[in-house]
Chain A
């Protein structure tokens, strides 16, 4: 188990290095970073001065070394827009984004898992058909558009929920629903198909042949096996939500990292963009490790290094 986690950790660190490299190179290799970051109407002198200030005239390797050393210390330079260090600003916004993603994920799980379970145990039933419809819709409705429509109807028309900001618990309902809907669909689908698949396994027939009560078979034999793919999908989906929150936060003016990212792209504030990309990756990679740990608790085959 330790060896398994250790190799996962090493892989994650390697990938983090890859992310840093990508983020660094993207800004520098695709064109003139100074021109990219400065306002379009800047004079050549201004751009040259900026280039000197940011150290873009140094050899690439030197720049990369400096970038890595600073990044490890958590320093991504100053935000060009705010003129203050980028990282603390990102960390400050983290809370709101995590709150939104957790609320969305909870909603998706609370509704998705039971619907998927019922669907898997009674395929073709009413709940199953509703679940499949929700899953299809969650997959097909662009959630940024759904957000707009919900603001229009539930926010403006009916006035049930605030249309922007993060004040009371009311504020989180609409953005969390919109962010969580595709995930809800995924969870319904996966739970349903996992239940169906596991119900058809030979070891379930064995359990029936022992005369066990259906309740025991479902909880002890089916559910625990369904939990394995579910845990990994929930981990992946949480990462997806952190990325997908860009749109939702922009629509609902939610003061999280996604909203900040949209603004910083508008300002061409690339130190800030880099900080957000790297920081979110770190969170997602850490989350992967947590998922893997949860995985190995449920599945002995992984625990014993198989």
Chain B
């Protein structure tokens, strides 16, 4: 399979009044055509900022991308997103890479009809006339499961429920048949039943459109149902990358282990108490000098306080940034 997105050593910082926030400290991963990658981490782990940085969606200033490359193989060939001009990035955004955001209540403009908000993507990227865009929009509304699309074209966001609004946002994301959809916690703000519907809709669309999906979430529970591979992030750094099966069966990072332990299990024999990870997320205002997880890690030893671990291959397409071998119960010799 061809890789359509290759990110290497991305570094993003925010220069705020209170100091420099080290939001992303060297993240690398890649994405294959039609593949679904989940990025998992707590809030502040840098998972959203990583994706927003790639496409110039962080406010600059205070934000600044200080290093790395991000090669995207799109319609115009293979190019580094971070080297693109704002004009070139605008062509990619919405046209070749679509977005779905967390809160469907605030992500739609309250005073424009939902039809207009979908159609403007089409007129922008596909060069459609207003009328063509209208017809296509109605088709899209049907495709994302909104009843009476013709009628709903003229409705305003406040006349829709949360789930319906999220369908509209998805319609915007798929409008120009992109190669990648970046979904930033698309189900977090929704009711549980609606969540399941949205996940189901994503699966259908992924099959129908053959699109790659990057699914950002803090909930490992959702991941198993939709993703093929998982990137676990902690403190602005990648902790572990693995296929879903590998990750669940043989996690290679203490943080992943903690996340899995925090997951409520239906197959558990007795109702155990939920295990939560002790301690608080790292203070991103401090420059990183050692493993960011060392503070909370049960396995941390001397080396963890002296070096920043980089990703180490531990299997086929399985990497972890941990000096400790959980399977052997001893430090790694790398």
On A, residues with C-beta under 8 Å from B are: 201-203, 205-213, 216, 220-221, 224-225, 228, 298-301, 304, 306
Bound: A216/B109 CA distance, A: 13
Given contacts A211-B95, A301-B156, contact A205 B111 (CB under 8 A): no
Q: How many residues on the B side are at the interface (Cβ–Cβ under 8 A)?
A: 30
Q: A202-B101, A212-B94 given. 16 additional CB < 8 A pairs?
A: A202-B103, A203-B107, A209-B55, A210-B94, A210-B172, A211-B94, A211-B124, A211-B125, A212-B121, A213-B90, A221-B109, A224-B112, A228-B111, A299-B110, A300-B156, A300-B158
Q: Which residues of A contact B93 (CB under 8 A)?
A: 208-211
A212 engages B124 (CB within 8 Å): yes
On B, residues with C-beta under 8 Å from A are: 55, 57, 89-95, 98-99, 101, 103, 106-113, 120-121, 124-125, 156, 158-159, 169, 172
Q: Which residues of B contact A225 (CB under 8 A)?
A: 109-111
Q: Which residues of A contact B124 (CB under 8 A)?
A: 210-213, 216
Closest to A201 in B: B106
B156 engages A304 (CB within 8 Å): yes
Bound: A216/B111 CA distance, A: 15
A210 engages B156 (CB within 8 Å): no
Q: Which residues of A contact B106 (CB under 8 A)?
A: 201-203
Bound: A206/B106 CA distance, A: 9
B99 engages A209 (CB within 8 Å): yes
A210 engages B103 (CB within 8 Å): no
- CB B37 to nearest CB in A, in angstroms, measures 18
Bound: A300/B158 CA distance, A: 9
Cβ contact of B120, chosen from A201, A202, A212, cutoff 8 A? A212
- Chain A to chain B contacts (Cβ below 8 Å), 12 pairs: A201-B106, A202-B101, A203-B110, A209-B55, A210-B124, A211-B94, A212-B121, A212-B124, A213-B90, A216-B120, A220-B120, A300-B158
Bound: A211/B87 CA distance, A: 9
A220 engages B125 (CB within 8 Å): no
Bound: A203/B110 CA distance, A: 8
Cβ contact of A207, chosen from B89, B98, B109, B156, cutoff 8 A? B109
- CB A175 to nearest CB in B, in angstroms, measures 37
A208 engages B57 (CB within 8 Å): yes
Q: Which residues of A contact B112 (CB under 8 A)?
A: 220-221, 224
Q: Which residues of B contact A304 (CB under 8 A)?
A: 156, 158-159
Q: Which residues of B contact A209 (CB under 8 A)?
A: 55, 57, 93-94, 98-99, 101
Cβ contact of B92, chosen from A202, A207, A211, A213, cutoff 8 A? A211
A203 engages B120 (CB within 8 Å): no
Q: Which residues of A contact B107 (CB under 8 A)?
A: 202-203, 205-206
- CB A294 to nearest CB in B, in angstroms, measures 14
Q: Which of A208, A216, A220, A304 counts the most chain B CB atoms within 10 A? A: A208
Bound: A138/B94 CA distance, A: 44
Q: Which of B101, B107, B113, B125 counts the most chain A CB atoms within 10 A? A: B107
- Report, nearest first, the 7 A-B pairs whose CB atoms are least far apart: A211-B94, A210-B94, A211-B93, A202-B106, A209-B99, A211-B90, A203-B109
Closest to B159 in A: A304
Closest to A207 in B: B109
A205 engages B101 (CB within 8 Å): yes
Q: Which residues of A contact B158 (CB under 8 A)?
A: 300-301, 304, 306
A301 engages B94 (CB within 8 Å): no
Closest to A200 in B: B59
Bound: A63/B110 CA distance, A: 52
Bound: A211/B92 CA distance, A: 7
Given contacts A211-B124, A216-B120, contact A301 B57 (CB under 8 A): no
Given contacts A203-B110, A224-B111, contact A210 B101 (CB under 8 A): no
Closest to A299 in B: B111
Bound: A210/B159 CA distance, A: 23
Closest to A301 in B: B158
- CB A54 to nearest CB in B, in angstroms, measures 54
Q: Which of B91, B92, B112 counts the most chain A CB atoms within 10 A? A: B112
